[in-house]
Amino acid sequence: MNIAIVCYPTFGGSGVVATELGIALSAKGHDIHFITYHQPVRLEALQHHNIHFHEVNVPDYPLFKYQPYELALSSRLVDVVKNAHIDLLHVHYAIPHAYAAYMAKKMLIDEGIQIPIVTTLHGTDITLVGSHPFYRPAVTFSINHSDRITAVSESLRQDTLRLFDIKTNIEVVPNFVDIKKIESIGKPCQRSLLAKKEENIITHISNFRPLKRIMDVISIFERLSPEIPCKLMMVGEGPEKIKAIEYVEKAGLEEKILFLGNSNEIDKILCYSDLFLLPSEKESFGLSALEAMAHGVPVISSNTGGLPEVNKEGYSGYLSGIGDIDSMADRARDLLLNNRLHSQFKKQARKQASQFSLEKIIGKYETIYSDAIASVKF
């Protein structure tokens, strides 16, 4: 198949999943075309002959206070579909991507071209941005006019049905992790660069937005560090980072809490890690938790959204209520002070992550693509 993928090219979960999906599909012989405003961060090099990148340029006109990205994207989609003979559009995020895809679809119909749209819902497009009264009509329209809809968790599926008047089926296709790739990396662990031999490495990865509750991460660490030798790795960028750094400096914790910024070396960081913290207020899936589990890192997380579908309570880690810092710290302490239990959870985390392996998920998308293409009425 000749598949166009539209996504955000950033470090966020949706962009990572879309990029990894495209790379995996190309390995199976499909031609993949990424269409976005910047080369996706996980697309390190266009080294595969059947992966193509089409940049969306948005001219800067003084007339517009906000440049019309949706118009530029829909026009670019039309060009790529026509020139590259695309069979299907797979758009990640309802707005603006599904909305722009629908506009492109209508323009192409006028030229006698039928193109199916598969829309994958990732979370904030539904629970935050999409549920805003200003955007709800556009989101509802975009979803209902897609040929196939997928959501990354049952929790997100239920949220979508609750928040919008959806008249079409939503299929749950969870996010995935490339287990074979992780296993092939091995562990060239220069762990000593980050921590002493006796220190545990605790890790948090996110976009540092308020919903990630990164101050809870620091508070959990503060409860652990007096009795357990450990360091905290904070990976990511976002609006809460400055406040967190200021707090760490005032508390005199600069030697124990390291801010690493955005990184393309997540696999290396996780291979060093002994525990992963994700106390989010909202989390439609929890891709970073899944990636940690795939590296054999137990997860302490909140029980919100899709996290209970990923992090199995008492098996791959523990779940606590949102904001329940004491419970999360107690459970982290139980794991880190009990070598036998920690070793058991590491093995179980890998086993739980294998339920979301790339090989199990990619076939579901291929079936959805084939059905969507077959359903288009010429």
> Residue 317 has what pLDDT?
98
> Residue 303 has what pLDDT?
98
In order of their start, the domains of the chain are 2-176+358-375 (3.40.50.2000), 179-356 (3.40.50.2000)
Minimum mean pLDDT range among 61-65, 220-224, 272-276: 61-65
> Residue 11 has what pLDDT?
57
> Residue 70 has what pLDDT?
86
- Tokens 């002994």 belong to 274
**Mean pLDDT for the chain overall:** 91
Identify the band that residue 265 occupies on the pLDDT scale cut at 50, 70 and 90.
confident
- Residue 137: CB atoms within 10 A of its CB come to 11
pLDDT in tens, 191-250: 777 788 889 999 999 999 999 999 999 999 999 999 999 999 999 999 999 999 999 999
pLDDT(34) > 60: yes
Residue 204 and residue 283 in contact, taking contact as beta carbons nearer than 8 Å: no
> For helices 69-84 and 99-109, what crossing angle results, to 10°?
50
pLDDT(2) > 80: yes
* CA dist., res. 42 & res. 272, Å (int): 21
Mean pLDDT for 300-313 is 97
Q: State how far the alpha carbon of 356 is from the alpha carbons of 32, 251, 342, in Å.
A: 22, 39, 22
pLDDT(130) > 60: no
Mean pLDDT for 368-373 is 96
- Residues 74-109: b if buried by 16+ CB within 10 A, e if exposed: bbbbbebbeeeebbbbbbbbbbbbbbbbbbbbebbe
Written as six digits, the tokens of 271 are 């291979």
Mean pLDDT for 127-135 is 68
Identify the band that residue 45 occupies on the pLDDT scale cut at 50, 70 and 90.
low
pLDDT(111) > 90: yes
pLDDT(89) > 60: yes
> Residue 47 has what pLDDT?
62
> Residue 92 has what pLDDT?
93
Closest CA to 7 of 34, 27, 31: 34
